[in-house]
Amino acid sequence: MEKFHPFLYLGFVPGFDDYPNVVYSWAVMIFLIIISILATRSLQTIPVGSQNVIETLFEGVASFMEDALGPEGNPYFPLIFTLGIYIFLSNVIGILPGFMAPTSNINTNIGCALTVFFATHYIGFKKSGVKYLEHFTGPIIWLAPLMIPIEIISHLARPLSLTLRLFGNITGEELVLGVLMLLCLQIYLPLPWAMQMFSIFGSFIQAFVFVLLTMIYIAGSLEGHDHDEHGEEHAHAN
């Protein structure tokens, strides 16, 4: 995607020509680390400034997660919040002249999608143990030979779907912005602000969809565990 940009910063970094997405991914991560350090170095009981903004963001995401996953989803807040903020910044950085969106490279998206894929299955096995495999056999045991291949294909399609959805949308956005930037440079005009606002909104929507699907997959992994717990509670009550 770098060929669609008139120029790119960070070209001096070793390996940039071969892996520009990795360089800009590290730029996003370093930026997040710096912001986190600055926002937490002098915490106050009554939040002000950047602490107030970050706490409001945290509370909003935590509340949304609790509505979707319930109290059992709280341990996975760091994973979901980190993915969301990283993907959003990786999307929106492409709007800035001289930068490219790491998520316009399919390898970045594969990494995020595989993280979700392995995390959901790890959570399922951690919570339900071997009983997690019942997700693949279906509710009726004699339908297992039919359900197992279907479920395996369904689960393998998840990272593919996450990857291609994010890649396609951000790549299309990068192409449009690159063409507009070239045209604006030819006639010495700034990039239209309306297009920039639309790109920011699109970047947020793509990050939100990725996070929402991640929560749905985690909820599916926890579903069997919830049923087991309710069944045990009912048995003890009887």
- Report pLDDT for 189: 58
CA distance linking residue 230 with residue 225, whole number of Å: 9
The answer to whether the beta carbons of residues 235 and 140 sit under 8 Å apart is no
CA distance linking residue 89 with residue 35, whole number of Å: 12
- Report pLDDT for 57: 81
- Report pLDDT for 192: 62
- Report pLDDT for 230: 43
What are the C-alpha distances in Å from 46 to residues 35, 43, 63?
19, 9, 20
- Report pLDDT for 187: 61
The answer to whether the beta carbons of residues 42 and 56 sit under 8 Å apart is no
Structure tokens at 85: 């903020």
DSSP 161-194: HHHHHHHHHHHHHHHHHHHHHHHHHHTT-PPPHH
Walking along the chain (238 residues) 10 residues at a time, the average pLDDT comes out as 53 63 86 82 69 79 84 87 92 81 89 93 86 78 81 90 91 75 63 72 91 91 57 40
Structure tokens at 25: 């991914």
Closest CA to 145 of 134, 155, 137, 156: 137
- Report pLDDT for 10: 60
CA distance linking residue 213 with residue 82, whole number of Å: 15
- Report pLDDT for 227: 43
Read off the pTM. 0.79
